[in-house]
Amino acid sequence: MLGRKVIKNLLSYTLKSCVCTNYSPQRNIQVSLVGTTNDVGSNLAILLKQSNKFDQLNLYDDDCKVKGIGMELNHIPGGPEVRTWAGDSSLQNSIRNSDLVVMVYRVPRKPGYTREQMLSANAPAVQKLCRAIANENPNAFLAIATNPLNSVVPFASALMYKYGCYNPFKMFGITHIDTARARMLTARALQINPLDLTVPVIGGHSDDTIIPLFSNMAPCATVVDPYKADTLTRLVRKAGTEVVFQKHGKECATLAMAWAINEFINLMIDAIRGQEVIVNCFTANPNFGTRFFSGATKVGPYGITQACHSFQLSDFESFLLNTAVPLINRDVGLGEEYVKYIEMMEKY
| Catalytic positions | 205
Check if the beta carbon of residue 303 is closer than 8 Å to that of residue 141: yes
How many Å apart are CA 71 and CA 80, to the nearest integer?
13
- DSSP lists the bridge partners of residue 282 as 173, 294
- DSSP lists the bridge partners of residue 58 as 32, 83
Q: In the chain, what's the furthest Cα-to-Cα distance?
A: 61
How many Å apart are CA 286 and CA 22, to the nearest integer?
28
Cα dihedral angle (4, 211, 194, 198), rounded to 10 degrees?
A: -50
Check if the beta carbon of residue 292 is closer than 8 Å to that of residue 281: no
Check if the beta carbon of residue 202 is closer than 8 Å to that of residue 311: yes
Which residues have C-beta within 8 Å of that of residue 19, sequence separation ≥ 6?
A: none
